[in-house]
Structure 1
Amino acid sequence: MTTTSEPTRHGVPRLRVAPSPTGDPHVGTAYMAMFDLAFARQQGGSFVLRIEDTDRARFDPTSEQQLYETLHWLGLTWDEGPDIGGPHAPYRQSERLGTYQPYVERLLAAGHAYRCWCSAERLAQMREEQQRQKLPTGYDRLCLGRTEEERAALPGFSPDPVVRMRIPDDVELSWDDLIMGRTSAPQPDDQVVLKADGYPTYHLAVVVDDHEMGITHVVRGQEWISSTPKHLLLYRWLGLEPPRFAHMPLLRDEKRAKISKRKNPWARLTWFAERGYLPEALVNFLALQGYPPIVEADGSEREVFTFAEFTERFRWEDVNRAGSIFNLDKLDWLNGLYVRALSPAELAQRLLPHLVADGVVSPTPSEADRERLVDLAELVGTRIVVLTDATPLVRPFFVADGDLEIAADARAQLDDGAAEVLDAAAAALNALVPDGAWDGPSIEAALRGALVEGLGIKARLAFGPLRTAVSGQRISPPLFESMQILGPESTLARIESLRASL
């Protein structure tokens, strides 16, 4: 499949995702990466991972490794990057500092940039005054055309200058966006391109790096629309061919605000793995945040699709410009579908890391424990939404009989007839053991005969005390199958233990 928006003048597409390592990876990074990757794979191009680590004040040394792990967890793989190298290495901006200075000198020599010695305090006062007078905020060009000596004679001087772009009054403010169509942005101010510490700002570094790495398509959120004229200016001033731009709809919370790690814990990409979402469900959900469902031949819409299906039909012009609300209920629904599509063996394998982390099973479970977990996965698969939901359901099957704790709410629902129920159940189950008929249907038949028919108790009331006895919980996997998995010895021991405590 081809896309009508592919500009042949750029040749084979090269796309990149360029996150900043400033804490837990943002879910928006994965969102952008999957659209990049889908187009790159569809067109036979390349996908590059670049680390933009020039913000040293917010730099987090653990963030980069977290980024690798979470993107790999999602199945989003790159062709070039800091961890695997490539023909345009290095892929960390902090390792490319020597690259940017020649571009800065070219801008200065051509009069497209100038040095600014204004102190942070002076700039803050300037902005406050502009806001007080309800004027547009932006640099007032106090340093433009002055030498360092001339500027030092004025208030608010800093000996360590920055370098600013000199934005012309007639800057072109519109361009053809692959998603937004003809798009425009407000008049920019004289943006800093080189900080006082010698590090480039995002605006310069992203232009230089995208040029030197041969990036043909820049995919980013709509919050960067206001920066695009600055970047196009830099491309023009430096005599470089600009890439095509595609500004993605933002991920928004239920209040339609841009999601942030400060306000939304689920903005952290690691949150989804910790909670037990399946990566394929999250990828499907993120695709739906900016792209329509599949329309079937009968006109119906299908919202469940693989990344391969998404890639095959991808076109920039079909991306939803407005985006949608990041609805966790919708994600839960999708995740439940994916969980139920797994075989018991596959689900057990997915559950294992969470059960190990929660101390339910050993990091090196025995073969018997693995087999038990597969049996349990068949029971709990329809009762969980995320993988961590399985922990309280599975835990009772991996504790010693004497260590089983009875939850307070489960004990509270035991009434005066519980002892009679437990005695009758124990007798009926003991009768099964010599016959070797310890399976779900046999257990159910014996208990219904002894309790529902023998004692005349409704099934709901009859089986409640037994559920509490074998699991310690009010809610558990199916009772008779749970007893089958526990085996007769543990089942009877737990019934006897609860009976003794009444």
Structure 2
Amino acid sequence: MAQAVCGRFAPTPSGRMHLGNVFCALLAWLSAKKQGGSITLRIEDLDKPRCPKGSAELLEDDLHWLGLDWDTGGSNGGKDAPYYQSRRFNIYEAYFTQLQKQGRTYPCFCNRAELHAAQAPHLSDGRVLYPGTCRNLTPEQAAAKALSRNPAQRLRLPDATVGFTDGHYGPYAQNLAAECGDIILRRSDGVYAYQLAVVVDDALMGITEVVRGCDLLSSTPQQLYLYQLLGFEPPSFIHVPLLTAANGRRLSKRDRDLDLGSLRQRFTGPQPLLGLLAFLAGLLPAPEPVSAQELLPLFSWDKVPRSNIIISDELLNPFQL
């Protein structure tokens, strides 16, 4: 019997969701529900100081308003609770210790300035490739450095190519050493990093399908390597185009005019907003009010564009009150 599809939406409550977050949430919801599957809501509040009190509740209210209800997670709870990453540190600790015992980790004492120094290798997209400065420290050298600075903990990545077939963009591969560099598993302040937390959570919560922005496409080979090390079966991955401003800059929570607070004031209800997003996703020939349920028979990944999508004022004009 085929495994039931379980998708997820995993927002960080560092601010109000913006139009791009909703676009991704809608596609994740449609993909899972079209297959008769379920949706889990996970609150990725690893960095608590960046997540204002009440923001997770506001996020849930916005999802309810949109009609993108979930089956387990968030304040609903479920068998894999807690669904808030800030409450799962003991779980991450157990899997970090497993990697540590395998000899896969090492302490890193580099500060931000050192990591972004001019001589540090940069990838074509501007990301800094960690040069392995602390990779071969002796235990004595590490102990001496630890007297003055708490280290982060990095994962040793091998000189190996990891590839997969994305459900929307097709084949993708990276050489872990040359294109990723050793990644951080735990920060110097003790907070576990996204790469470890997301792999552990998706595996333990039974997530079988991950739909997320294409800006995270390059994170997938690193995560697949972590799945392998921890003995987990990876989900399928489907990356989606980003919504961008007219100048090509991707939308962020700083774009207050396109966050759900502003959009809920501008629109008479969720249907016109969902109709706009459905048009951008290639599901409708023109924007028109529609509910999430009404989009289910229209949904197909073949219709969704692969290029990033520009959001202009003119595009939003027909829906202004």
Instruction: Mark yes or no: TM-score above 0.5.
Output: yes
Task: Give, as a single letter, the amino acid of the residue that structure 1 aligns with 2:272.
Answer: A
For residue 206 of structure 1, give the secondary structure of its aligned residue in structure 2.
helix
Q: Paired residue for 1:108? A: 100
Residue 259 of structure 2 corresponds to residue 268 of structure 1 = yes
State, as a whole percentage, how many aligned pairs show the same letter: 36
Q: Is the 8 A contact 2:270 2:291 kept in 1?
A: no
Q: Paired residue for 1:364? A: none
Going from structure 1 to structure 2, the CA distance change for 1:134 and 1:224 (only over 3 Å counts) comes to: closer
Task: Give, as a single letter, the amino acid of the residue that structure 1 aligns with 2:266.
Answer: R
Residue 161 of structure 2 corresponds to residue 171 of structure 1 = yes
Residue by residue, what CA displacement relative to the aligned partner does 1:295-319 show, whole Å, maximum 9, x if unpaired?
A: xxxxxx4543542332113222332
For residue 135 of structure 2, give the secondary structure of its aligned residue in structure 1.
coil
Residue 314 of structure 2 corresponds to residue 325 of structure 1 = no
Structure 1: which 5+ runs fail to align? 1-7, 294-300, 336-384, 387-502
Structure 2 Cα separation of the partners of residues 157 and 184 of structure 1: 40
The one of the two structures with greater contact order (alpha-carbon pairs below 8 A, sep at least 6) is 2
Alpha-carbon distance, 1:50 to partner: 0.6
Q: Is the 8 A contact 1:130 1:137 kept in 2?
A: no
Structure 2 Cα separation of the partners of residues 133 and 78 of structure 1: 40
Structure 1 Cα separation of the partners of residues 311 and 244 of structure 2: 6
Structure 2 Cα separation of the partners of residues 171 and 236 of structure 1: 13
For residue 48 of structure 2, give the secondary structure of its aligned residue in structure 1.
coil
Q: Is the 8 A contact 1:192 1:201 kept in 2?
A: yes
For residue 203 of structure 2, the aligned residue among 204, 211, 219 is 211
Aligned counterparts, 1:439-458, within 5 A? none
For residue 182 of structure 1, give the secondary structure of its aligned residue in structure 2.
strand
Q: Paired residue for 2:59? A: 67
Structure 2 Cα separation of the partners of residues 22 and 134 of structure 1: 27
For residue 312 of structure 1, the aligned residue among 297, 301, 314 is 297
Structure 1 Cα separation of the partners of residues 168 and 60 of structure 2: 28
Q: Paired residue for 1:161? A: 151
Task: Give, as a single letter, the amino acid of the residue that structure 2 aligns with 1:325.
Answer: I
Cα RMSD of the aligned pairs, angstroms, is 2.5
For residue 114 of structure 2, the aligned residue among 125, 132, 147 is 125
For residue 161 of structure 2, give the secondary structure of its aligned residue in structure 1.
coil
Report the number of matched residues: 315
Q: Paired residue for 2:224? A: 232
Residue by residue, what CA displacement relative to the aligned partner does 1:220-268 show, whole Å, maximum 9, x if unpaired?
A: 1011111111101101111111110011100111222211232x32231
Q: Radius of gyration: which is bigger? A: 1
For residue 128 of structure 1, give the secondary structure of its aligned residue in structure 2.
coil
For residue 252 of structure 1, the aligned residue among 244, 253, 278 is 244
Q: Is the 8 A contact 2:67 2:292 kept in 1?
A: no
Structure 2 Cα separation of the partners of residues 19 and 134 of structure 1: 27
For residue 152 of structure 2, give the secondary structure of its aligned residue in structure 1.
strand
Q: Is the 8 A contact 1:251 1:289 kept in 2?
A: no
Structure 2 Cα separation of the partners of residues 286 and 77 of structure 1: 17
TM-score (norm 2): 0.89
User: When you count helix as a share of all residues, which structure comes out higher?
Assistant: 1
Alpha-carbon distance, 1:207 to partner: 0.3
Residue by residue, what CA displacement relative to the aligned partner does 1:443-463 show, whole Å, maximum 9, x if unpaired?
A: xxxxxxxxxxxxxxxxxxxxx
Residue 142 of structure 2 corresponds to residue 151 of structure 1 = yes
Alpha-carbon distance, 1:185 to partner: 4.6
Q: Is the 8 A contact 1:22 1:60 kept in 2?
A: yes
User: When you count strand as a share of all residues, which structure comes out higher?
Assistant: 2
